[in-house]
Amino acid sequence: MGSLLQVLFDALSLGSLYALGALGIALIFGVMRLVNFAHGDVIAACVFALLWPSVDAVAIIFAGNLPWYLLVPFVLAFGAALSVACEALVFRRFRRANPATMMIASFALGFVIRYFLLMLFSSRPKSVSLLPALSQPVEILGARIPLLQLITIAVTMAVLFGLTAFLRRTRFGLEMRAAAENFTMARMLGVRANRVIMGAFALSGALAAAIALILGSQTGTANIMMGASVMLMAFIATVIGGMGSLAGAVLAGFLLGAVATVMQVILPPEARAFRDAFVYGAVILVLIFRPQGLLSARGTRERV
């Protein structure tokens, strides 16, 4: 019972990370048809925003020492601002370019962010103790669940509810949904293209920051590659969710988290090192049978 519960919480918290990552990608894909490969590097940048630039192994904590009620808004705002800056400085120039060009631009931008971090902080992973109180375990029905896992799951649920309410109940949310379906038509109804796109980037950046906080607290390290592994799974989740479908991205994120966790448990120990290969195998199977994704979006047709 206890270990089953443990697996469930592992699956949910890993799935939460993937879902948050997939959501950040799907939001931007929805309004711009941009597959944003810089998203993982925005996550890394958010972790490093807590540190002073230095190439030493011991991190000099800067904002990381703030109490959590200041730390969290600071990181979220940083992620949103960085993401909006990416849009204003880079992606805006590529609005009318074809999706492949935009994708390559996002790769390039990701490298720029990564090497900028490399320059300031060196490639050595740094240990950071972010919100150390969260690593204490909590006893639930005989299982010892890390508090951080519970918070990760709770935060993800709150984000999902909040985002749904935002998209369904607010004027800006309505405009974003309309723009995601048919951007040109939305503009002909007076919806301001720049505002919608900036809004999507801000939300996506804040989601990246949330992942950064969770990863930073979980691993206790800051590493310029730390966004990459989550992002790979998150990209896969957006694809099997049906590009641009937000619900699909979230669902597929949790599904991938569950598959990865369950494989970790059921695979024979000598095969566990190859867990990800099994996960990708499952993904290929899904795509063979449902190439349009689990919940395919209506909006994948071309926009003008």
Partner 1 sequence: MSLLALSNVSVRYGRLVAVRGITFSLGEGEILFITGPNGAGKSSLLRAIAGVTPPSGGRIDFADHDITGRAPEDIARFGLAMVPEGRDAFGGLTIEENLMVGTGMHSATRGWKARAATELEAVYATFPILKDRRHAQAGLLSGGQQQMLVIGRALMTNPRLVAIDEPSLGLAPNITDQVYERLTALLAMRKLTLLIVEQSSTRAMMVGGRMMLMRGGEILLDGDARALGQSEAMQAAYFGYGEP
Per CB under 8 A, residues contacting partner 1 are: 171, 174-175, 177-178, 181-182, 184-193, 298-299, 304
CB of 36 to partner 1, least distance (A): 22
Q: How far apart are CA 157 and CA 151, in angstroms?
A: 10
What residue has token string 């979980």?
Answer: 218
Query: In the 8-state DSSP scheme, what is residue 58?
Result: B
Q: Which is nearer to partner 1, 164 or 181 (CB)?
A: 181
Q: How far is the CB of 207 from partner 1 (least distance, A)?
A: 22
Strand pairing report for 143-146 and 137-140: antiparallel
Residue whose CB is less far from partner 1, 72 or 191: 191
Nearer to partner 1, 187 or 275 (CB): 187
The pair of structure tokens assigned to 64 is 């990381």
> To the nearest whole angstrom, how small is the minimum distance from the Cβ of residue 175 to partner 1?
6
> What Å distances lie between residue 155 and 62, 67, 162, 274, CA to CA?
24, 18, 10, 30
CB of 185 to partner 1, least distance (A): 4
Shortest CB 180 distance to partner 1, Å: 9
CA distance 263 to 265: 5
Strands (E), the chain: 126-127, 137-140, 143-146, 221-222
Burial class (CB in 10 A: 0-12, 13-18, 19+), 28: buried
Give, to the nearest 10 degrees, the angle between helix 68-89 and helix 193-219.
Answer: 130
Judged by beta carbon, residue 232 or residue 295, the one nearer partner 1 is 295
Choose between 100 and 188: whose C-beta lies nearer to partner 1.
188
The smaller minimum CB distance to partner 1, of residues 163 and 178, is found at 178
Beta-bridge partner residues of 137: 146
- Taking the complex as a whole, the smallest distance from the CB of residue 192 to partner 1 amounts, in Å, to 5
Q: By 3-state DSSP, what share of the chain in percent is helix, strand and coil, each rounded to 5?
A: 75, 5, 20
Whose Cβ is closer to partner 1: residue 204's or residue 245's? 245
Q: How far is the CB of 188 from partner 1 (least distance, A)?
A: 5
Residue 150 to residue 273: CA distance in whole angstroms: 26
